Amino acid sequence: MSKRLILVLTLAFVVGISFAAYAEVQNIKVSGDLLFTTVSRQMFGLGGATSVSGDKKSDTENLLVTQARLRLDADLTDNVMATVRLINERAWGTETSATESSNIDVDLAYVSLKEFLYSPLSVTVGRQEIKLGNGLIIGNSRSLNSGNLNGVPSDLSLRKAFDAITAVLDYDPLVITGLYAKIDGYGRTLAGGARSEREETELWGVDTTYDFGRRGAKADVYYLRKNGDANGTTVTTAYKEDVINVMGALLSATPIENLKTSAEFAYQYGEVSGGSASIKRAMAAQVMADYTFANRRYTPALGVSYTYLSGDKDTNDNKDKSWDRMFYDQALNNIAYAIFPFSNMEVVNLKGSMKPKEDITLAVNWGYYRLAHKVSSLTSVNIDGDGNANTYTMDSTKKMLGNEVDLTATYDYTEDVQLGLTAGIFTPGKAFAALNRDIATQLVGTMKITF
């Protein structure tokens, strides 16, 4: 009799929990988007020997890509919200390969708790997108170097989320954000192949933001610590975990109406393994200004930016001064984003846009690229649709990397459908060896449906 009573009470308890959980759902919102992209890329190997082939005729990539996302946002109570977003990214025809599939994966999966234990405190737990400031340091967990995604080049992937815990203390106008994230790493191998193991990377950080309340003036001061190596390294000595600390500040303001400005500086220090260097000392700086002529015909806009990422001048000493790209989320130009590692360079961008009609936007973006320090070789971070990266031969006496121009036309067909066409051309500079100076081009057409 007692066993039956225990069973009945157990079932009642389970049913009660299920009913309570169901009853607490106040609202469920379903949303998502479909992005269809056609990509034509020519000469991303810049005419030289690539990881695929040294034949110039083979240095082309033509793709049709579908990226689909479905999102559910559930308000459980006034202070509890759960979010799940599923994603499918694939190049058309990849199902024919035994190693590629059109799997549906979890892109977002987190719960947000407002006024958690303490009214100014909010906590978010699970797979979530995290972006600090302009994305110079944190914004994309994949950092491009993440292998093949069903035939989709990694620079076109929409997956950026971190498995993380974030906590926000909102003492308006002061906001303090703390974060912890764990990112899948890559194999580490000792010289001679004596040891190979997969390493995970941990990211810790705190960001303090103060809103001055006038002219859009804000100040961000942050500290981040990355343990491990999400980039993969071959080490020649006993295994030692990389530790990179980042301290930085971002100032942003609107000094006059329609003019947005920002200035950011960051410094890296810590310990690294691999090669002769053991001490990390690097820096990055970025200045941006954008002005919109809001009351003029065609609503023209102009923008300028300067980005500096330090490089390592002396590779034989014990200091590594090259900027670690961390988890940046910035495409200064489209082709350069796929070719260059986000390190050891200076970039000047000039941008302009206009709206000849209310639903049409035309934009141009010119980028000038130069090495911070001369190098003899360069390997791209991006992984193409076949899962390969390009390696370039450089002229170790030159710094000029090249110029890129991107032209973009966007048409808002309806409130939910947007059509886009982007053409880009990159002209290599003298920092590339003669065999790597062929012009790279790209043509990308998109159709995005949001629901």
Give domain status of residue 11, yes or no: no
Report the domain count for the chain.
1
Q: For residue 333, what are the β-bridge partners?
A: none
CA distances from 275 to 20, 29, 159, 378 (A): 58, 51, 32, 16
* pLDDT at residue 6, rounded to an integer: 45
Q: For residue 379, what are the β-bridge partners?
A: 391
User: Which CATH number do you get for residue 236?
Assistant: 2.40.160.100
Task: List CB contacts of 355: < 8 A, sequence separation 6 or more.
Answer: 298, 299, 361, 362
* pLDDT at residue 165, rounded to an integer: 97
CA distances from 41 to 58, 87, 384, 424 (A): 11, 25, 10, 9
Nearest residue to 63 (alpha-carbon basis) of 130, 146, 129, 150: 150
One digit per residue, the tens of pLDDT, for the chain of length 451 reads 444 444 434 444 433 443 344 436 779 999 999 999 999 999 998 886 444 444 555 688 899 999 999 999 999 888 999 999 999 998 998 775 555 556 789 999 999 999 998 889 999 999 999 999 999 999 998 765 555 577 888 889 999 999 999 999 999 999 999 999 998 755 454 445 444 455 678 999 999 999 998 988 999 999 999 997 644 444 444 556 789 999 999 999 999 999 999 999 999 999 887 656 689 999 999 999 999 999 899 999 999 999 999 999 877 788 889 999 999 999 999 999 988 989 999 999 999 999 999 999 999 999 999 999 999 888 887 777 666 778 889 999 999 999 999 999 999 999 999 999 999 999 999 999 998 899 999 999 999 999 9
Supply φ then ψ for residue 169, to 5 degrees. -105, 115
Count other C-beta atoms under 10 Å from residue 438's C-beta.
19
- Cis bond upstream, residue 173 (ω within 30): yes
Task: List CB contacts of 422: < 8 A, sequence separation 6 or more.
Answer: 334, 406, 407, 408, 409, 442, 443, 444, 445, 446
Spatial contact of 395 and 432, defined as CB atoms under 8 Å apart: yes
Nearest residue to 367 (alpha-carbon basis) of 398, 396, 325, 331: 331
Spatial separation of the C-alpha atoms in residues 177 and 81, rounded to whole Å: 19
Condensed to tens digits (0 to 9), the pLDDT of residues 314-354 reads 777 888 899 999 999 999 999 999 889 899 999 999 999 99
Give domain status of residue 3, yes or no: no
Residue with the two structure tokens 């001061």: 221
**Sheet strand arrangement including 234-235:** 196-198, 187-190, 234-235
- Domain residues for 234? 28-450
- Is this prediction's pTM over 0.95? no
Spatial contact of 364 and 406, defined as CB atoms under 8 Å apart: yes
Residue with the two structure tokens 């405190």: 121
Give domain status of residue 71, yes or no: yes
Give domain status of residue 10, yes or no: no
Give domain status of residue 99, yes or no: yes
**Cα–Cα–Cα angle for 340, 272, 239, nearest 5°?**
120
Helix (H, G, I), strand (E, B) or coil at 201: strand
Supply φ then ψ for residue 297, to 5 degrees. -60, 140
**Cα–Cα–Cα angle for 88, 94, 100, nearest 5°?**
75
Spatial contact of 92 and 67, defined as CB atoms under 8 Å apart: no
**Cα–Cα–Cα angle for 237, 242, 244, nearest 5°?**
150
Give domain status of residue 313, yes or no: yes
* pLDDT at residue 154, rounded to an integer: 85
Give domain status of residue 415, yes or no: yes
DSSP collapsed to 3 states, 237-282: CCCCCCEEEEEEEEEEECCCCCEEEEEEEEEEEEECCCCCCCEEEE
Q: For the chain, how many helices (H) and strands (E)?
A: 2, 24
Give domain status of residue 347, yes or no: yes
The amino acid occupying position 184 is D
Spatial separation of the C-alpha atoms in residues 327 and 210, rounded to whole Å: 24
